[in-house]
Amino acid sequence: MDYLKEHKNIIKKEANYIKKFIITFLQNENEKGRNTDKAISDLASFFYKEYLSNSLIEKHKFYFDGIINDLRIHKYNYDSKKVDSLLKTLENEVYKSFMEIKETFSKSKLEDYEVFEKLTYESFFSEILKYTLYQKVQARLENSIPQLTEGIKLFYELNDYNDFSTTFLIDESEKITELRISNIFKKLGRKFDLKKIRNNTNEKSIIDKIKSTFDENEKILLLNLAFFQGDKIEKTEKLKLILLIGELTDYSLFEGLAKNSTFYKKVSAGIDHYGKKNQEVYLDSILLKIETLELKITKGFLRKLKSNSIDTK
């Protein structure tokens, strides 16, 4: 399987495409006069739609969770001083899991088995590498590395992307240090506010973010996600959503038959309760407010709703 040795080139090539995509998107937003937070929030949503949601892996993610996890922890299973841990993981754990999935589909003729029947390991390994890169980029666009987020904001505000390197998309998070970003700020003649960055990650800051004020309609949408989407959202995230929602003031559930109350009907309908014109407004607003919070599944679900809303206009 000599083609596996191309894994670094595949990642670099895809990262270059993504870099161009990000820069073009932000330049267009800049021309429209979008404010920085809105531009980056929209970028995260559009990136999800264009890359993650269109990925073969995302469409069949249920079958590939184990493989995705193997790739996440590859550096812990091998001695990186002796071998290329990612290459070894692709040769061993990922290949074994892929063949087991192929065999399962071949024997049982499960739904979508034809997709897997035609899928070679050479094409799959390329897809899975790109997908893990997409996940990494998505997380970074959602402020998983606060100092990098500040760097992207700086590039956007100056409309200068000469220092926007693909390594910001590829490197492990520990390599994207405060010092590395502060040097870019210094080079571009701007002050790097270290206190602001660190405040973004401390406990007090997180609590303050959770206290963001959601209006009644946004709370209704969050309730719908927590209670009417089955197992699409994990229980821990549902609890976080309930904490975010906070106080509710509609007590019509206590009057007469609960399921006939307007409040219940709104919550059960979710986004469908609102006209197409308002759907994107509410979804954008919620995404912006939860931008820096660890609500990965919720964000993905909201982006999917937004994508569907746009497609049906």
30-51 residue pLDDT tens:
999 999 989 998 999 899 889 9
Percent of the chain having pLDDT more than 70? 86
Domain extents for the chain?
2-201, 207-311
Query: Mean pLDDT in the chain?
Result: 83
Q: Residue 131 has what pLDDT?
A: 93
Q: What is the dihedral of CA 78, 81, 87, 93, to 10 degrees?
A: -10
245 or 15: whose pLDDT is higher?
Answer: 15
Average pLDDT over residues 262-282: 80
Q: Residue 201 has what pLDDT?
A: 54
Query: Quick check: 285 and 128 in contact, CB under 8 A?
Result: no
- CA separation, residue 60 to residues 2, 19, 65, 90, 151 (Å): 26, 26, 9, 19, 34
Q: Residue 132 has what pLDDT?
A: 92
Among 26, 297, 25, CA closest to 154: 26
Query: Quick check: 137 and 47 in contact, CB under 8 A?
Result: yes
What is the residue type of 174?
E
Torsion over CA: 55, 58, 62, 67 (sign):
positive
* 146-158 helix and 36-47 helix, angle to the nearest 10 degrees: 110
Supply φ then ψ for residue 2, to 5 degrees. -60, -25
pTM of this structure: 0.65
Residues near 191 by Cβ (< 8 Å), separated by ≥ 6? 185
Q: In 10 A of CB 71, how many CB atoms?
A: 19
